């Protein structure tokens, strides 16, 4: 990030492609962290101004962020799919692995959207929800029932073998900030809100249930065939 910002600084042209290559939430979080780290130093450096500029550009992109066409994760800006289901060159895995994740996701999504067709308005990033999203992301503004939300999130993870595998067996011992960081690293880098994490984990609980059921049916038909 710092190197990218230095490159930006050398040309004085922070490009939109730089913002679009990441989730806006990641970009904003890293810039806000840099601003906080420098807050005790006297004066304003060029780097601070770039951080603010990039935060402004990434905030603008937040409103263009939508959910993945298949699952409850956020899609990369300007695309229809999340990290798990996208096919972009920068996404993890070989082309074969990405294609397999896409095919599996498409199959599971049919059941997922059939049984869970509604998405509440507070999940989506809009003019109404972006201010609280930013407050959480940039200054970690607590919500009124912070402790209760955290306990509910841990219960939700504990209820799904697949979620425990993905998030890590040590999830119960993680502190609040460690757990939220882990969720962003392993589930959805674009998310920052505790209540929405609760919703997304609940949706993924069903998602992995459908995925397991599809795999079981396929195995049975192979064995019987």
Q: Yes or no: say if 19 and 58 are a contact pair by the CB < 8 Å rule.
A: yes
Q: Is 203 an interacting residue with respect to Zn ion (CB under 5 A)?
A: no
Sign of CA dihedral 99, 100, 101, 104: positive
Question: Smallest distance from the beta carbon of 63 to Zn ion, in angstroms?
Answer: 20
Q: Which of 55, 77, 82, 163 binds Zn ion (CB under 5 A)?
A: 82
Q: Is 31 an interacting residue with respect to Zn ion (CB under 5 A)?
A: no
Burial class (CB in 10 A: 0-12, 13-18, 19+), 199: middle
Question: Smallest distance from the beta carbon of 68 to Zn ion, in angstroms?
Answer: 3
Q: Which of 70, 133, 180, 210 binds Zn ion (CB under 5 A)?
A: 70
Of 52 and 91, CB closest to Zn ion: 91
Rounded (5°) CA angle 178-74-72: 90
| Alpha-carbon distances of 13 from 50, 58, 66, 121, rounded to whole Å | 10, 15, 27, 35
Q: Which of 22, 85, 193, 203 binds Zn ion (CB under 5 A)?
A: 85
Number of residues that bind Zn ion (CB under 5 A): 7
Q: Given the rule CB under 5 A, which of 85-93, 95-103, 195-203, 207-215 is the region that contacts Zn ion?
A: 85-93
Q: Is 5 an interacting residue with respect to Zn ion (CB under 5 A)?
A: no
Q: Is 74 an interacting residue with respect to Zn ion (CB under 5 A)?
A: no
Of 25 and 31, CB closest to Zn ion: 25
In the numeric block, which tokens belong to residue 202? Answer: 């609940």
Q: Is 68 an interacting residue with respect to Zn ion (CB under 5 A)?
A: yes
| Alpha-carbon distances of 110 from 31, 41, 204, 207, rounded to whole Å | 38, 53, 14, 10
Question: Smallest distance from the beta carbon of 95 to Zn ion, in angstroms?
Answer: 17
In the numeric block, which tokens belong to residue 116? Answer: 């869970």
Q: Which of 32, 57, 71, 153 binds Zn ion (CB under 5 A)?
A: 71
* Residue 67: strand, helix, or coil: strand
| Binding residues vs Zn ion (CB under 5 A) | 68, 70-71, 73, 82, 84-85
């Amino acid at each position: 990030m710092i190197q990218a910002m230095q490159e930006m600084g050398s040309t004085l042209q922070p490009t939109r492609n730089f913002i679009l290559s990441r989730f806006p939430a990641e970009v904003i979080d890293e810039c806000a962290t840099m601003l906080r780290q420098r807050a005790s130093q006297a004066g304003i450096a060029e780097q601070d101004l770039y951080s603010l500029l990039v935060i402004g550009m990434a905030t603008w992109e937040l409103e263009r962020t939508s959910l993945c066409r298949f699952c409850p994760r956020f899609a990369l800006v300007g695309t229809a799919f999340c990290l798990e289901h996208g096919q972009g060159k920068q996404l993890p895995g070989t082309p074969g692995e990405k294609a397999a994740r896409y095919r599996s996701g498409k199959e599971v999504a049919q059941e997922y959207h059939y049984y869970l067709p509604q998405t509440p308005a507070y999940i989506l990033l809009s003019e109404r929800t972006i201010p609280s999203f930013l407050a959480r992301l940039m200054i970690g503004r607590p919500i009124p029932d912070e402790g209760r939300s955290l306990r509910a999130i841990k219960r939700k993870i504990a209820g799904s073998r697949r979620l425990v595998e993905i998030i890590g067996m040590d999830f119960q011992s993680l502190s609040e900030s460690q757990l939220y960081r882990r969720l962003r690293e392993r589930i959805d880098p674009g998310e920052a809100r505790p209540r929405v994490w609760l919703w997304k984990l609940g949706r993924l609980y069903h998602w992995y249930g459908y995925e397991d059921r599809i795999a079981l049916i396929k195995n049975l038909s192979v064995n019987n065939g």
